Amino acid sequence: MHSFVTEKESQAVTAVEEIRHNWSRQEVEALFALPFSDLLFEAQTMHRQYFDPNQVQVSTLLSIKTGACPEDCAYCPQSTRYDTGLETEKLMEVEHVLKQARAAVASGATRFCMGAAWRSPKQRDMPHVVAMVKGVRELGLESCMTLGMLTQSQATELSEAGLDYYNHNLDTSPEYYGDVITTRTYQDRLETLDHVRRSGMKVCSGGIVGMGEQQGDRAGLLQQLANLPQHPQSVPINMLVRVKGTPLENEEDLDPFEFIRTIAAARIMMPASHVRLSAGREEMNEQMHALAYLAGANSIFYGEKLLTTPNPRANADMALFARLGIEPERRHVEKAPEIPSPHFYDAAVS
């Protein structure tokens, strides 16, 4: 079989094969500036070195405590500061959570994610949360939670309960962050990720695009994530869901190709991580989904709801998988984690 890859293209791919933690902003912006087909070629080539290109991880997300969050994240309908018509709900009973987890198993999910609208969990809530983790694990599912900021002791408690992943997004670049959130700092978020790593749990961390940021901010977000001492094992890329009553309700649509560029750059920079299509899939057509998978996305949230916003119907996802020759990823023992750098606990470079 003849190869149609030029020497220059081969060198470009080889240059990014190594897992790196020292990306410069200029390098990341250069990825975004590549011709679209070249960028997707690099991303798909990288993807095939670490994953089966025709398998996509299927996860289910459940809101275990909805609304009444004191934070002012401009995109979030769960903030007490915005009138979005959302009905608040107290922390779910453990058995109700496990009922939903059993339904997730029946639908083919391999990971069960639980989210609570807290700034940070209170100690009185920890026994209930721990019980949920243990119950989900007993069902054979990978477990993930997002509960806001964690102390080191809380991260350790969750890790000892068997929690596999903890989600805490950086949201955007350090430079744009203050335009979206003022009630917690970027450093607060980095410290929670540090606590999660120290506890031995895997990190799930990504961001939201389409919030009015510039391309340089999307590059800055990926630079922050890729330059962490360990790459997040899961990198959710969310498209802004505009909710009436939030400050971003009238934000303009992001160019779909720009979203795909972000997916592809994430794949190249964090080649061994699952890159997840998260919020905003309801607005994406089948062609955009297919391009995202080609660009290296290999994880989705499955079901009809993501916390408080819509998600494509489950059967539509499976129908598209069949048309594309994709199958749900089977749960397997992951590769050994990367060996931490000597500066494992240093803050990420900007």
Q: Check 48, 111, 124, 144 and give the catalytic one.
A: 144
Q: Is 276 a catalytic residue?
A: yes
Q: Is 294 helix (H, G, I), strand (E, B) or coil?
A: helix
- Alpha-helical regions (H) of 139-255: 152-161, 174-177, 186-199, 215-226
The amino acid at residue 304 is: E
Q: Check 111, 197, 204, 218 and give the catalytic one.
A: 204
Q: How far is the first Cα of the chain from the last one, in angstroms, to the nearest whole number?
A: 44
Give the C-alpha separation, 337 to 239, whole Å.
28
Q: Check 20, 25, 48, 76 and give the catalytic one.
A: 76
Q: Is 313 a catalytic residue?
A: no
What is the residue-wise DSSP string for 64-85?
Answer: EEBS-B----TT-TTBTTS---
Residue 312 phi/psi, 5-degree rounding, is: -55, 150
Task: Of 237, 234, 238, 166, give the one whose Cα is nearest residue 197.
Answer: 166
Q: Is 144 a catalytic residue?
A: yes
Q: 199-234: string of b/e by CB count within 10 Å (b at 16+)?
A: bebbbbbbbbbbbbbeebbbbbbbbbbbbbbbbbbb
Q: For residue 143, what are its two tokens?
A: 């477990």
Which H helix or E strand runs over 257? helix 256-269
Q: Check 189, 267, 276, 281 and give the catalytic one.
A: 276
Q: 78-92: string of b/e by CB count within 10 Å (b at 16+)?
A: bbeebeeebeeeebb
Name the residues annotated as catalytic: 69, 73, 76, 113, 144, 204, 276
